[in-house]
A and B are shown apart, each in its own frame.
Chain A
Amino acid sequence: DTEVTQTPKHLVMGMTNKKSLKCEQHMGHRAMYWYKQKAKKPPELMFVYSYEKLSINESVPSRFSPECPNSSLLNLHLHALQPEDSALYLCASSRGTNQNTDTQYFGPGTWLTVL
């Protein structure tokens, strides 16, 4: 099983809503990632978790709050988002043993629209 699953596939939310994106993998990977991808742009790294601890936060606004409850799950809590936050949010995972060469497996993403 080399699958990373993400739910929901599509999400529409207002600027005052609170919602969460979920990501799950059962490959035994110990590194998990959140990326943001705007239309016609490459993915941009947001957060990295290694062994359930936050390793990298790429200066992401606090209205995005990541959470890694266990080694298989990664959440992204959303609150008070802006319309410019509308994008495809991608989750990825990797073994976490060699950061320089490990393969990252990406999920299909969640298409987020903020009204």
Chain B
Amino acid sequence: TQLLEQSPQFLSIQEGENLTVYCNSSSVFSSLQWYRQEPGEGPVLLVTVVTGGEVKKLKRLTFQFGDARKDSSLHITAAQPGDTGLYLCAGVRGFKTIFGAGTRLFVKA
């Protein structure tokens, strides 16, 4: 069984703070994706990382794929209330996408 563990499960911070969310697995994936899901909606893809050690930036969000392609992190700089939501990492192998349990982020104004 491939298992993706995300931490923390819940995070409540003040506007302007930085945070990092971690996604770890004992399995190697072809790629790793990060999604954001709003209540009552489907997940929306933020980024796909494919190469070990890869770093991608999306405005204030920085995504890193571990060298061994088993883990990833999401760093948000100067969090804003609009960043509030559920962040899901997902390991991809072929047509199978396995989601982590998610990190529920709440950014207070």
Q: Which residues does A use to contact B, with CB under 8 Å?
A: 4, 31, 33, 41-45, 48, 50, 55-56, 90, 92, 99-101, 103-109
Q: Which residues in B have their C-beta under 8 angstroms from that of A42?
A: 88, 99-102
What's the dominant secondary structure at chain A's contact region? strand
The segment out of B56-64, B74-82, B90-98 that lies at the interface is B90-98
Q: Which residues in B have their C-beta under 8 angstroms from that of A104?
A: 45, 97
12 contacts between A and B (CB under 8 A): A43-B99, A48-B95, A50-B95, A55-B95, A90-B42, A90-B43, A101-B31, A103-B48, A104-B97, A107-B42, A109-B40, A109-B42
Q: Which residues does B use to contact A, with CB under 8 Å?
A: 30-31, 40-45, 48, 50, 88, 92-102
Number of A-B contacts (CB under 8 A): 55
- Identify which of A44, A48, A100, A108 contacts B42 (C-beta below 8 A): A108
CB of B93 to closest CB in A, whole Å: 7
